[in-house]
């Protein structure tokens, strides 16, 4: 005849259900925060790359005393930017493409953030722009959406400008370049 154990070493079914319920509630609460964190991290990397290109444009301006045009290349990190060429290789994982173009009375670097399964950015709303224009003998910059009205679905830019860092929240770099 077998003896019954006085102190069983296993979990009861009710304890297991309670633990699974608590874990499910924690997952439901934390997943949206995690997705927002992923979006902000990819945006932070894009802002860092634009900052490096800002330095490259500033160096070009200080050595050449003019803005780059066709045939010029801005030396920068992570890749050099030939004027007018769409760059898709050797970029960080969170960046799909970059391009340096003339716009209004200055230049714009358009950067497209890579789409991923966790991103809630609509496919046409993943662009970030860095505008540069001469003001006197200085080169000034503006960062944010390319267009002036980034609230409609067909627009290109961030419809939720609250996700942009404090120094990069201007809604309308293209309009700023034509003033």
The predicted-structure confidence for 99-156, as pLDDT tens digits, reads as follows 998 888 889 888 888 776 666 666 556 778 888 999 888 898 888 777 655 555 445 5
Sheet containing 106-113, strands listed edge to edge, beginning at the edge strand earlier in sequence: 86-87, 95-103, 106-113, 127-135, 138-145, 170-171
Question: Which domains are delineated in the chain?
Answer: 13-178 (3.30.700.10)
What gap in Å lies between CA 176 and CA 132, rounded to an integer?
A: 10
pLDDT at position 117 is: 62
* Residues belonging to the chain: 179
C-alpha distance from residue 97 to each of 47, 52, 57, 114 (Å): 14, 15, 18, 8
Tell whether the model's pLDDT for residue 79 goes beyond 80: yes
| Cβ–Cβ < 8 Å for 86, 47 | no
Q: How far is CA 18 from the centre of its chain?
A: 40
pLDDT of residue 119: 61
Instruction: Respond yes or no on whether the N-terminal peptide bond of residue 60 is cis (omega within 30° of 0).
Output: no
Do 147 and 141 touch, CB atoms closer than 8 A? no
pLDDT at 164 over 80: no
What's the token pair of residue 178?
């034509």
Q: What is the CA radius of gyration of the chain?
A: 24
pLDDT, residue 153, reads 45
The encoded tokens of residue 69 equal 């045009």
What CA–CA distances, in Å, run from 77 to 30, 90, 112, 129?
Answer: 35, 10, 16, 17
Q: Are strands 81-82 and 127-135 parallel, antiparallel or unpaired?
A: unpaired
* Structure confidence at residue 123 (pLDDT): 57
Q: What is the pLDDT of residues 20-66, one digit of tens each?
A: 999 999 999 998 888 778 777 888 888 888 889 999 999 999 998 88
Please tell me the distance from the alpha carbon of residue 142 to that of residue 67, in angstroms, as a whole number.
Answer: 15
Q: What is the pLDDT of residue 122?
A: 60
Would you state the pLDDT for residue 17? 94
Closest to 77 in 3D by CA, of 42, 52, 55: 52
Give the per-residue pLDDT at 154. 46
- Is 73's pLDDT higher than 70? yes
């Amino acid at each position: 005849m077998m003896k019954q154990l006085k102190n069983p070493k296993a979990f009861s079914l009710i304890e297991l259900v309670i633990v699974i319920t608590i874990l499910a509630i924690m997952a439901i609460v934390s997943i949206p925060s995690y997705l927002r964190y992923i979006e902000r991290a990819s945006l932070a990397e894009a802002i860092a790359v634009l900052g490096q290109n800002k330095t490259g444009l500033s160096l070009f301006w200080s050595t050449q005393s003019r803005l780059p045009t066709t045939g010029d290349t801005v030396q920068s990190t992570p890749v050099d930017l030939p004027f007018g060429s769409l760059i898709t290789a050797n970029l960080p994982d969170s960046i799909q493409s970059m391009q340096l173009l003339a716009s209004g009375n200055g230049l714009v670097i358009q950067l497209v953030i890579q789409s991923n399964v966790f991103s809630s950015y609509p496919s046409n709303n993943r662009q970030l722009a860095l505008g540069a224009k001469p003001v006197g003998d200085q080169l000034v910059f503006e960062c944010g959406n390319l267009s002036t009205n980034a609230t409609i679905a067909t627009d290109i830019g961030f419809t939720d400008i609250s996700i942009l860092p404090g120094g990069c929240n201007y809604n309308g770099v293209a309009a700023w370049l034509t003033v």
